[in-house]
Amino acid sequence: MSQDIISRVSPSRGAGSPRVVGFYEPDTGSCQYICVDEETKKCALIDIVQQFDPRSFSTAFDHAQWALDYVEREGLELEWILDTHPHADHFMAAAWLKERTGAPMAIGEKAREIAALWRKIYNMPDAFPVDPDFDRLFADGDRLRIGNLDVKVMLSPGHTLGSITYVVGDAIFAHDTLMQPDAGTARADFPGGDAGQLYDSIMAILDHPDDYCIFIGHDYGTKDRDEPAWESTVGEQKANNIHVGGGRPKDEYVRLRKERDKTLPLPDRMLAALQVNLRGGRLPEPEGDGHSYFKIPANKF
């Protein structure tokens, strides 16, 4: 699974503004971030990927190790391991990162409700207690700090019922709500998703100043753009996003989103990923032979 990693640095724009290192996982189109306070050299890792091959069910941590190597090389101190939601299309690396650094790992508190949905889907009534596997479960409006940077947590349901957005100074980590303006917005048809809620969440994100930077969770390119991209501004999204730009009303958006979602297949990692991500990135407990095994429901989707 080893591969050259595409990365770009968005420099700090001054006091209260983070340096953001974005890097790309091409197998799932995932955008991952290192968010740095230049004043204190403290940082957070956001939505880091544990690689997974759906053919062999093997895992790897090349991207997580790349992030740790960057932190060490730049003389940074890792303060948080953050995820925005229990991802459906890639495995989280949070637990692996915590084992190696001791930094606390966090996600939104509504991961508990997402876990309840998936217990029923998997017919595993005692699985995914959530609280023991994370150090912090954030509620809407919670605050934290990365060094001297103030971080606001926003509940942003729609893609999942428990997605959260991190606003770090003038940087918005908007996860799987928005994509790049030329690609639109995220799907809303996973269990617990809702297109109307997604529209409201996007409008709340776009209520920030026009010059705030938006960092997204995925990019798959477009027919006119091959290179991955993950940074835009609030103003660019409001003006040019092909799904919500130009003031598209909610009813039109919901219709467009639902029609689009009907054409999309399930991510090939989803039925395995939730069993891992609701445990913070940990594989199912090993059985007597030392190997982990997945339980995959047939004919439920």
- Indicate the domain borders of the chain: 6-277
Which amino acid makes up residue 177?
Answer: T
Instruction: Classify 259 as helix, strand or coil.
Output: helix
pTM above 0.85?
yes
Residue 13 has pLDDT above 90, yes or no: yes
Q: Mean pLDDT across the chain, nearest whole number? A: 96
Mean predicted confidence (pLDDT) in 212-238:
96
Taking the mean position of all CA atoms in its chain, how far away is CA 206? Answer: 18
Q: How many helices (H) and strands (E) does the chain have?
A: 7, 16
pLDDT band at residue 1 under the 50/70/90 scheme: very low
210 by DSSP, 3-state: which? coil
Identify the DSSP state of 185: B
Q: What burial class does residue 59 get, using C-beta atoms within 10 Å of its C-beta: 0-12 exposed, 13-18 middle, 19+ buried?
A: middle
Return d(Cα 171, Cα 50) in angstroms, integer.
24
pLDDT for the residue numbered 3 = 59
- Residues 141-169, mean pLDDT to the nearest whole number: 98
Phi, psi of 291 (to 5 degrees): -105, 150
Nearest Cα to Cα of residue 91 among 139, 146, 32:
32
Average pLDDT for 140-149: 98
Mean pLDDT (whole number) for 267-279: 96
Over residues 180-202, the mean pLDDT reads 97
Q: What share of the chain is helix, strand, coil (3-state, %, to 5)?
A: 25, 25, 50
Instruction: Supply the pLDDT for residue 6.
Output: 96
Residue 4: the pLDDT is: 83
The CATH class of 6-277 is alpha beta
Percentage of the chain surpassing pLDDT 90? 98
Question: In a 3-state reduction of DSSP, which class is residue 296?
Answer: coil
Decide if pLDDT at 180 tops 90: yes
Q: Return d(Cα 199, Cα 214) in angstroms, integer.
A: 16
pLDDT greater than 50 at residue 173: yes
Question: Cα–Cα distance between 165 and 152 in angstroms, integer?
Answer: 8
Q: Is the pLDDT of residue 2 over 90?
A: no
Check pLDDT > 60 for residue 112. Answer: yes
- Whether residue 135 is predicted with pLDDT greater than 70 in this model: the reply is yes
Q: Percent of the chain beyond pLDDT 70?
A: 99
Q: Indicate whether 212 pLDDT > 90.
A: yes
The residue-averaged pLDDT of 65-86 equals 98
Minimal CA–CA distance to 294: which of 69, 121, 80?
Answer: 121
Dihedral through CA 51, CA 76, CA 229, CA 52, nearest 10? 0
